[in-house]
Amino acid sequence: MSLPERKPNMNTSTELEIRYVHEGDYIISFSKDISVSGMFIFTENLFQVGDTLKIIFCIGDLKEAPVNAEVIWVNHCHSNKDSGIGVRLLHPSSSLKEAILKSVNRVAILTNFP
């Protein structure tokens, strides 16, 4: 019996370490709800919709996979637990898309396993 594959635009709630560069600052944070098209990044840094940043993924076999991203929404909470930004990945490489999709599928299988 084969396991169902997630669609490329599906996302999963998992935390991955994310490194990104914005206005010359190098920042390490964590992602949530990642998909091949975008993700939520926990951050207390102030961003505006439309800001761009460079995300550097270390995922799967990729040790340094940079991709530009655009901030598409901002969540500034008084409690820093849910403060962060929603970003859209701009022109991710096929190898990065594949690595993200594998990670999403792996988490989906583990979380749906009886």
Residue 3 lies inside a defined structural domain of this protein = no
Q: Which residues, other chains included, contact 4 with Cβ-Cβ below 8 Å and sequence gap of 6+?
A: none
3-state secondary structure of 104: helix
Looking at residue 42, which CATH number applies to its domain?
2.40.10.220
Task: Kindly state whether residue 2 falls inside one of the protein's structural domains.
Answer: no
pTM (2 d.p.):
0.76
CA separation, residue 37 to residues 26, 46, 65, 77, 102 (Å):
22, 22, 15, 24, 14
Q: 13-17, 52-56, 91-95: which has the minimum mean pLDDT?
A: 13-17
User: What is the DSSP code (8-state) at residue 61?
Assistant: T
8 found inside a domain:
no
Predicted pLDDT of residue 62: 79
Is 1 inside any structural domain?
no
Domain count, the chain: 1
Q: Which among 11, 81, 19, 64 is positioned nearest to 39, based on CA atoms? A: 11
- Highest mean pLDDT among 33-42, 79-88, 103-112 belongs to 33-42
**Domain around 26:** 17-112
Which of 32-41, 85-94, 100-109 has the highest mean predicted lDDT (pLDDT)? 85-94
Q: Which helix (H) or strand (E) holds 64?
A: strand 62-75
Q: What integer best gives the mean pLDDT of the chain?
A: 79
pLDDT tens by residue, 18-73: 888 888 888 888 888 888 889 999 888 889 999 999 999 887 777 888 999 999 99
Q: Tell me whether residue 10 is in a domain.
A: no
